[in-house]
Structure 1
Amino acid sequence: MPSPFVPTALIGESFVGEGANAAHTNVVIGRKGGPVETAWATALATPSAGHVPFMTVVRPSVPVKPLTLFVAKAAAEGELHQRATWGSAQAGLAQGISDAVDAGLIPAEEADDLLIIAAMWINPAVDDLDESFRNQRAAARDAIRAAVTGTPTVSDVQTAAKQGPTNPFYTPTAEVLAR
């Protein structure tokens, strides 16, 4: 009998770090045979210019478990950004997922039955592959934790909304919020 670990899909998000080496990861976790598998296979089979989803590997020919599709949010531009996308960010994602399994966030006995889609932000201005790896690793693990624990809660979101929205790219002024 299948475990109730993942109903239809779990969704999580995490942003870690600052500046050019920050990581923003969105994950969708679902069972093989369900809608996440359909989305996973469709994304893998239908790449677009500059956005080629690929299987995340711990090392060549050793895909991470659960099998994870890496989807870059920014097209890889220039040598360092390409090395960060296919190198440090992929390695960070693989290690973050492995960390989540080691921590029991994803039960190891479920790993072969699950799939993950990870949408990853790697800034084209990335300048430190080691910092990129550390941030991507933490963001992957934290996004999985958020998916599994259902955080933030609606109450958490409403409390944050009362303080006003903000993100690394924009914070509205009090005047704009008052309108």
Structure 2
Amino acid sequence: MPSPFAATTLIGESFVGDGANAAHTNVVIGRKGGPVETAWATALATPSAGHVPFMTVLRPSVPVKPLTLFVNKAAAEGELHQRATWGSAQAGLAQGVTDAVTEGLIPAGDADDLLIIAAMWINPAVDDLDASFRNQRAAAYGAVRAAVTGTPSLADVQAGAEEGPTNPFYTPTPEVLAR
């Protein structure tokens, strides 16, 4: 079976938890020298107000491998939200990516050749840094797993469409779903 990393770009998504401490992570994974590297470097070099992409570290001066760019979806506002963004969510992302390498989702031999862009949702109402860390870790791992395994399948998406769309912020009523 060919390596999933033969593809130019892998994309994954995961949502874990509920309420203010839920985590939503989108990842793009690709090899250095390809379009993901261009996007990675461009994002790092072009921050905007409230959205400053940064390298994810396990601890200061120890970036996670594959090198992972943290991109916040919500501007960090207020002390606790800032601590969650730069602290618990970053630590969760770092640990989730490291877990993916440790468990072989990302082969250790490929870790230096790959780059990850992670778009991270941290709710401005976050109120528990430990819950935030746990959810971000699981969401990061889940997004990497989805990217590497190519899930969900089209059949999964079509089955979900039959039930109707839903997310933590909105579920349409049957009347709205009717054509």
1:21 matched to 2:21: yes
User: How many Å apart are 1:4 and its aligned residue?
Assistant: 6.1
1:113 matched to 2:85: no
Q: C-alpha distance in 1, partners of 2:136/2:157?
A: 24
Q: C-alpha distance in 2, partners of 1:136/1:32?
A: 25
Q: Is the 8 A contact 2:4 2:148 kept in 1?
A: no
Q: Is the 8 A contact 1:6 1:29 kept in 2?
A: no
Q: C-alpha distance in 1, partners of 2:74/2:5?
A: 32
Deviations 1:44-93 (A, max 9, x none): 00000000000000000000000000000000000000000000000000
1:133 matched to 2:133: yes
Q: C-alpha distance in 1, partners of 2:42/2:158?
A: 34
Match of 2:174 in 1: 174
Match of 1:74 in 2: 74
Identity of aligned residues (%): 86
Q: C-alpha distance in 1, partners of 2:60/2:175?
A: 53
Q: Secondary structure at the match of 1:65?
A: coil
Unaligned runs of 5+ in 1: none
User: How many Å apart are 1:6 and its aligned residue?
Assistant: 3.7
Q: Secondary structure at the match of 1:5?
A: helix
Q: C-alpha distance in 1, partners of 2:67/2:144?
A: 14
Q: How does 1:48-127 map to 2 (within 5 A)?
A: 48-127=48-127
Specify the code of the residue in structure 1 equivalent to 2:114. L
User: How many Å apart are 1:160 and its aligned residue?
Assistant: 0.3
User: How many Å apart are 1:136 and its aligned residue?
Assistant: 0.1
Specify the code of the residue in structure 2 equivalent to 1:132. S
List 4+ stretches of structure 1 deviating above 6 A.
none
Match of 1:37 in 2: 37
Q: Secondary structure at the match of 1:12?
A: strand
User: How many Å apart are 1:7 and its aligned residue?
Assistant: 1.1
Q: How does 1:146-157 map to 2 (within 5 A)?
A: 146-157=146-157
Deviations 1:132-176 (A, max 9, x none): 000000000000000000000000000000000000000000000
Query: TM-score, normalising length from structure 2?
Result: 0.98
Specify the code of the residue in structure 1 equivalent to 2:110. E
Q: C-alpha distance in 2, partners of 1:108/1:115?
A: 13
Deviations 1:118-143 (A, max 9, x none): 00000000000000000000000000
User: How many Å apart are 1:5 and its aligned residue?
Assistant: 2.4
CA RMSD, Structure 1 to Structure 2 (Å): 0.8
Q: C-alpha distance in 2, partners of 1:106/1:4?
A: 9
Specify the code of the residue in structure 1 equivalent to 2:17. G
